[in-house]
Amino acid sequence: MAVKEELEKSMPTYEAFQPDHIKAINLEMERLGDYKLKSSKDYIVPEDQRMNVEKKRKHIFLLYEVLFRSKKDFNEKIIDLRKRKVDIINKINKHNERLKDIDKELGVEEEYFTASIDSILETPEKYYEVTEEIIDEYSKKKDQEKLAAANKNTSFFGGAAGPNATATSSNSGTNLQAAAQDAKKDDKAAAAQQPKGNLIPIQTRDRKTKKVEESALEREIRLANELRLTSEKEALKSELENDIKNFDKQVTKLQEEKAVLEWNMKVVEMKLITFSQELIILEDMQEHDDQLISKLLNARKDKANFESQNADYAAQILEKKQNHFNVDKKLNETINEYNKYFLDDINRANKIFAYFQRMHKKRKNKEMNKKKDDEDGEDDGESDEDDESFDEEEDEEEKVDVSPVMNDPNLRKLVDTRNELLDEKSQLEEDMNKLQNERRIIDNRLGQIDELIKNVIKFLCVGY
């Protein structure tokens, strides 16, 4: 932190840069963007990264999904390992049977490792599983309990002459009869083995010093068989040892994975606690955020409308400027054509045109007043008299010889065209001024909206 503070102090201020440098910096900031540190006071969270209740709930859901998938994957590994253990136990039992047969042929005795599965510990999912055998066993147990209770009650009320005594006496009689029948069968067998007539069986007895010598071929066959059986025995034992060692390695590896998984799950659970606390804060702030977001959306909507209007006004101004240019061009051509008739006296030409221009304006004003009076429903007689008297006064003030224009239709047409073009030009200028004023109003409104959007985003993305 100390190094950071020293670097910040040594950094030049914005005012210390030269104008060219400031212009280049602003240009690069517009091109590349102004990225601030998240620890900076001026840092504003981008709108797409702003957190809300919906995103936080999604984060919590993803954490729960991570926990579920981690547990599921680990449990699947445990189940695969249990299947591997069952296969190894079956293999051990099968090899043990073969090893015992080999020991029997070799004439040796040896105890071998046996394994089993504790169904309660290694198959907890079957704890609540009920089969038909369990139901039958439970039914037999209940029947025995009921029979024992009934016998106990009967002996208590009936004494020694109860059913138990009768059953005992009957069982003892049956055993005596069976013993007598077995004795008769033994006597018959002994009589059948006695020799008939005067024949005496020959009694033989092996000598204690009797020895059987095996041949070289028999000895070689016996040794080869012993070697074959011994090598088979060692191969079976080595195979079992390798399988057990590999299984132990898998168990050790799974234990290490379990330790890592438990640590990761603790980290995820701590994140869940943090996210839950953040969710509570976001839920409390949601109503205020919704109001700000609504205000922001409305401001952006208004901004889009104003920008659209501003673009339309700009297009209209451009079109009217083009029309103004065309009208001005036609007007200059008309003036040049008009001046050709008065090459000797341009001043007189201007006075004549000024006279017709005043007459044109008066006629135009009269038409506008009449139209206005017709809309208002008032009598315009007095106004007509006033206009006529005003015309007479103007005529008396300055007498202009307009006979050249009155006698020449082409010249009169040029004068009328010039007046119309001047009216059109003035109308275009008036329209452009109105549009410019509207654009100024819209620009001011856009500035206010931009300031409002900036403040709302600051409240949403920085804090309160």
Surface-to-core class of residue 39, CB atoms within 10 Å of its CB (0-12 exposed, 13-18 middle, 19+ buried): exposed
Statement: residue 97 has pLDDT above 60: yes
Quick one: pLDDT at residue 161? 44
Q: What is the pTM of this model?
A: 0.50
Q: What is the DSSP string of 364-419?
A: HHHHHHHHHHHHHT---HHHHHHHHHHHHHHHHH-----HHHHH-HHHHHHHHHHH
Look up residue 112 and give its DSSP letter. -
Neighbours of 460 (CB within 10 A): 20
Quick one: pLDDT at residue 40? 76
Q: Which tens digits make up the pLDDT trace of 157-184?
A: 444 444 444 444 444 444 445 555 665 5
Quick one: pLDDT at residue 207? 56
Statement: residue 393 has pLDDT above 70: no
Statement: residue 245 has pLDDT above 90: yes
Share of the chain above pLDDT 90, in %: 23
Statement: residue 441 has pLDDT above 80: yes
As given in the structure block, the two tokens for residue 299 are: 């401001």
As given in the structure block, the two tokens for residue 429 are: 């200028």
Axis crossing angle, helix 346-376 with helix 216-339, rounded to the nearest 10: 110
Quick one: pLDDT at residue 169? 41
Long-range interactions of 284-291: CB distance < 8 A, separation 24+:
286/52, 286/53, 288/464, 289/52, 289/460
**Range from 25-39, 279-293, 365-379 that averages highest in pLDDT:** 279-293
Statement: residue 396 has pLDDT above 50: no
Q: Which tens digits make up the pLDDT trace of 219-233?
A: 889 899 889 989 999
Quick one: pLDDT at residue 31? 82
- The average confidence (pLDDT) of the chain is 79
Long-range interactions of 262-270: CB distance < 8 A, separation 24+:
264/70, 265/67, 265/70, 268/63, 268/66, 268/67, 269/67
Statement: residue 33 has pLDDT above 70: yes
CA atoms within 13 A on the CB side of 284: 5
